Chains A and B, each alone.
Chain A
Amino acid sequence: MALLTTTIGSFPKPPLLHEARRRFAEGEIEAPALREVENEATLRALRLQEDLGVDLLVDGEMDRADPITSFAERLSGVEIAGWVRVYGDRYVRKPRIVGPLARAGASTVERFRFARGAASRDVKAVVPGPYSLLDGSYDEHYPSRKAAASALAEIVREEVRDLAAAGATDIQIDEPAAGARGDELPLLHDLLARVAEPVEGRARLWVYLGYADLEAHGPALATLPVDGVLVAAAHSGYAGIEGFARALPADRFVGVGVIDTLRAAVESEEEVRGRIARLRDLIPADRLWVVPDGGFRALRPDAARAKLSAMVRAAK
């Protein structure tokens, strides 16, 4: 039985887009010109996924340098701080919460509409989650992490509601910070329940857990109140996957990473097939989705294509 496939969100940005972003930052081009280059890059990311046979597409995040920062910078009460290293030679500009948070309007709906209109298959909308928005920011305003997370949950809830109204059938909440603090897993659970509430029965809600420690928190993460859970696992040789899989509720979809997106070396189709076989022993095939560990943003375009190709061929 062929397994369904999707990806996590980002695709490598083409050199032309890097150049356009630089020129925009230096005032050499206006926003519509940058938008045109972003649209072209989005179309190329969609075509790549369609050509390779991915089942559920993403827009490739061509309009976002970093998902957390790009989402947060459109909120009032937020300023953007300087550069901070997050891993290896990857850096982000983290948001600073300096006042009451409020949303001026939808942040991801326009890009979703464009991608869906241009795609031949369903497109999954991707939104950063409230817990990871908090974790990825410096909070200088709210009296507690819980208060800040609650304000962010309200904003994400509105975004999810707008995406569903725009026709999104699959919405992914990115929570790569899930499990960073074991004692806050109940908070994460409550935040997701709030975010999910307006779209229950109207759209399938996924949560992407990033590189969460499945050995330490697998069972708690498996039971988060969403329709589907996506998790990186290839990078760690599937440490903790058994406990995570055992705890999954019977109605839960689950996407487990079979491609390590942090390593440039391309996995062979056979290697990926072996990883999938291991997962099929743990998770029913009608619930199992095949996904990469994370976004493809940091990979060279040829490596991203080769990895995704190996993944899709192995899944089919």
Chain B
Amino acid sequence: MIRSASHSSYPRIGDGAWDQQLRRTARERDRGLASDADYRAIEDEVASLVVAEQARAFVDVVTDGLVRWSGPFSHFCRGWDGVALDGLARWFETGLYDRTPAVTGPVRRREPVVVRDARLALDVRPKHYKAILPGPVTLAHAARVPEGADRAAVAGEIAEALAAEAAELAEAGVTMLQVDEPVLCRRPETAELVARCVGRVFGAAGVGATTILSTYFGDLSNPALDLAALPGTHLGLDMVHGAGNWPVLTRLPEGRGVHLGLFDARTVRPETAEEAFERIVPYREILMARDVMVGPQCGLELIPRDQAFDKLLQARYLKERLEREWRWRS
């Protein structure tokens, strides 16, 4: 089967008058002219519109754009005990900044963080809705931990908190779950820990759920990396910044689906479905036997909305061509 898929985030504001509403309300809130409740109401509306906008591009798998997320590091900390927010840090080499989690004690889930968001997104009735969770190992590596603390143990605690979130997402009707572990591309030595922690999260995602271990900002070409040991029904690979991932396709475990990041979500340079098609043609036989999703390689909020929409359109055109021209066996 072949599907087009959004990766995770989507630009929450655009150039049109209404598209600026979130930014405008944030400014009014700063000046005491709007309340937190006003802001949250706009956020809910923008999230629903973002789901609809991705569906308008006829993308099969959509997200809620992570519109309510404060940032890739900080968002989940608000629902957990044992983590405070520290200084500002970059999300890898992107232009996006976030507060660094600072571990102050055992990490424990206090309350759900994205379960309500998922319910609201499902209300829009998209074809396939994908919920996103941060990777426990990526978070543990980004966090400040007390001197002498065991980062692997912190990752394990975070995984427990995320597993509880995954279980509630499943109860809410989520059947597709993605966990983002970009750290795996930079630190292949974390593979065993990633397998254990993400495996724990996916184990709570419900029977029959589609589970995607997403990696990006690099590749998984390290020959010592045991791909079969990585959890999930699908492996997300960055084919833009991870040139070494093309040979990885030949090493994929039997039956494992792939979420191919073929469009560059970090540049506004126009890309076409035809260019992407030419790149994957050599892997036709490998891919036709699998469940494949095609789309951008990471969240789209690093580029403006018009270009983000265009990347999704190209993903859709690519999927349509692949569906038409290839004989899918999966």
Query: A residues near B, CB below 8 A?
Result: 15, 81-89, 91, 93-94, 96, 135-136, 138, 140, 177, 180-181, 211, 213, 232, 235-237, 239, 262, 298, 300
Contact = CB atoms under 8 A, between A and B. Distances in A.
A239 B87 contact: yes
Contact of A236 (B26, B86, B303, B306): B86
Interface stretch (B96-104, B122-130, B313-321): B96-104
A136 B12 CA distance: 19
B184 to A, nearest CB: 19
18 contacts: A82-B305, A82-B307, A83-B11, A83-B15, A83-B20, A84-B301, A85-B12, A85-B13, A86-B97, A89-B22, A89-B23, A93-B304, A140-B269, A213-B89, A232-B87, A232-B88, A236-B100, A298-B30
Interface in B130-166: 144
Contact of B71 (A82, A83, A87, A136): A87
Interface of B: 11-15, 20, 22-23, 26, 30-32, 70-71, 86-90, 93, 95-98, 100, 144, 267-269, 301-307
Contact of B304 (A81, A86, A211, A232): A81
Contacts of B89: 211, 213
A140 B267 contact: yes
B23 A83 contact: yes
A141 to B, nearest CB: 10
A183 B87 CA distance: 22
A88 B11 contact: no
A135 B93 CA distance: 9
Q: Which of A15, A86, A87, A93 has the most CB of B within 10 A?
A: A87
B217 to A, nearest CB: 12
Given A84-B303, A138-B267, A236-B87, 4 more contacts: A84-B301, A86-B97, A237-B87, A239-B87
Contacts of A96: 268
B13 A83 contact: yes
A138 B93 contact: no
A213 B268 CA distance: 28
A287 B12 CA distance: 44
B87 A82 contact: no
Contacts of B71: 87-88
B268 A138 contact: yes
B23 A86 contact: no
A171 B94 CA distance: 27
Contacts of B20: 83
Contact of A83 (B26, B31, B32, B305): B305
A123 B269 CA distance: 40
Contacts of A91: 13, 23
Contacts of B14: 82-83
A26 to B, nearest CB: 11
Q: Give the 8 A-B residue pairs with the shortest CB-CB distance, closest first.
A: A82-B304, A236-B87, A89-B26, A235-B87, A87-B97, A211-B88, A138-B268, A140-B269
Nearest to A176: B97
B269 A85 contact: no
A181 B93 contact: yes
A213 B92 CA distance: 12
Given A83-B11, A83-B15, A84-B301, A138 B269 contact: yes
Contact of B268 (A81, A83, A298, A300): A81
A260 B72 CA distance: 21
Nearest to A210: B88
Nearest to A262: B88
Given A138-B268, A138-B269, A211-B97, A84 B302 contact: yes
Contact of B88 (A93, A177, A235): A235
A84 B306 CA distance: 11
Given A82-B15, A83-B305, A91-B13, A136 B88 contact: no
Contacts of A140: 267-269
Contact of A136 (B11, B70, B95, B269): B95
